[in-house]
Amino acid sequence: PLVTTAEVVAGARDRGAAAAAFNVITLEHVEAVVLGARTAGSPVVVQVSENAVRYHGGAVLPLAAACRAAAEAAEVPVALHLDHVEDVHLLHRTAEAGFSSVMFDASKLAYDDNVAATRSAAQWAHGHGLWLEAELGEIGGKDGAHAPGVRTKPEEAQSYVAATGVDALAVAVGSSHAMTSRTASLDDGLIARLRDALDVPLVLHGSSGVADDDLRSAVAHGIAKVNIGTILNVAFTGAVREVLAADERLTDPRTYLVEARRRTADVVAHLLGVVSGER
């Protein structure tokens, strides 16, 4: 069934685990995430980024409608989240597109501008019954180059959450977006200090670059939502490449998409077991 992101995150927290949120680009990704969650027997968050919306020609509704239909039909709880929104026009479409939560990303702005933009985004979201995530301390890798050096400062984060009223905070603790090797080194001590300083859930972005044991440790130190994208694309595209290479005359896209979807679902099920299992 379709549930809210707030419910999935709170439910995971109650079990001493974290919610896993997977980025989807195509219908096959959506199907793979739901299939993987069913295999793991775990609630899941399906998220669509502003970048993915741009890929679909700026249209958010078709993919969002597919996510919603898949969530409603799912045997496990599925929540829908709109990810990394910088465009206020897209933010304002969150509710009508069927998402229960949105990440508003003003992290490229200077601190005071980030606070002002995020505060008004949070006010808008709360007026529409939505859960709003924001980012402080820019997490690297969004523009291609990896810059994992930035860190979120606990005291600044405390003022930021108080000034903006956000429901969750994406923190820079050593991860970086779009890594294809799982070699990031996280600062668990900083995660614990952020958890102690804040009363909102902490979100780890760029989790594809984090090894299983390091993900477990990050959750144990206070990460409540784990965002995963790239590692699904590594599995998906790897499968497509293999199937196509094996038969040059193949034309039916279902031949390679079925394998891509299956392998992506396996990765989803595995990672759900890592971050969202009972402990």
User: Which positions are catalytic?
Assistant: 83
Q: Are 103 and 169 in contact (CB under 8 A)?
A: no
By CB under 5 A, what part of segment 260-279 binds Zn ion?
none
Are 170 and 240 a contacting pair, CB within 8 Å?
no
* Residue 206 in contact with ligand G3H, rule: CB under 6 A: yes
Select the binding partner of residue 225 from ligand G3H, Zn ion, none (C-beta < 5 to 8 A, by kind): none
Alpha-carbon distance of 119 to 163, in angstroms, equals 7
Residue 113 annotated as lining a ligand binding site = no
Binding mask 13-32 for ligand G3H (x = CB under 6 A): ----------x---------
C-beta of 31 vs 50, nearer to ligand G3H: 50
Separation of alpha carbons 115 and 125, rounded Å: 15
Select the residue whose beta carbon is closest to ligand G3H and give its number: 229
Residue placing its CB nearer to Zn ion in the complex, 131 or 256: 131
Name the segment binding Zn ion (CB under 5 A); options: 90-98, 201-209, 214-222, 243-251.
201-209
**Least distance to Zn ion, CB of residue 207, Å:** 9
Nearest residue to 74 via CA among 31, 111, 27, 13: 31
Nearest distance from residue 206's CB to ligand G3H, in Å? 4
Tell the burial category of 276 from Cβ atoms under 10 Å away from its Cβ (0-12, 13-18, 19+): buried
- Annotate each residue in 136-175 with x if it binds ligand G3H (CB under 6 A) or - if it does not, as one string: ----------------------------------------
- Using CA atoms, how far apart are residues 37 and 71, in angstroms rounded to an integer? 11
Comparing C-alpha atoms, which of 125, 129, 37 is closest to residue 74? 37
| 3 state SS of 142 | coil
Residue 174 CB, nearest approach to ligand G3H (Å):
13
Contacts of 44 (CB under 8 A, 6+ apart): 8, 19, 20, 21, 22, 33, 34, 36, 37, 76, 77, 78, 79, 268, 272, 276
How does strand 2-3 pair with strand 19-23? unpaired
User: Which of ligand G3H, Zn ion, none interacts with 207 (beta carbon under 5 to 8 A by kind)?
Assistant: ligand G3H
The answer to whether 205 contacts Zn ion (rule: CB under 5 A) is: yes
Is 84 annotated in some ligand binding site?
yes
Interface of this chain with ligand G3H, residues 55 to 84, rule: CB under 6 A:
83-84
105 is in an annotated binding site: yes
**How many angstroms separate the CA atoms of 112 and 1, rounded?**
40
Does residue 135 have a known ligand-binding role?
A: yes
# binding residues, Zn ion (CB under 5 A): 1
**Binding-site residues:** 84, 105, 135, 177, 205
Q: Which residues bind ligand G3H (CB under 6 A)?
A: 23, 83-84, 177-179, 205-209, 227-231
Q: Which residues bind Zn ion (CB under 5 A)?
A: 205
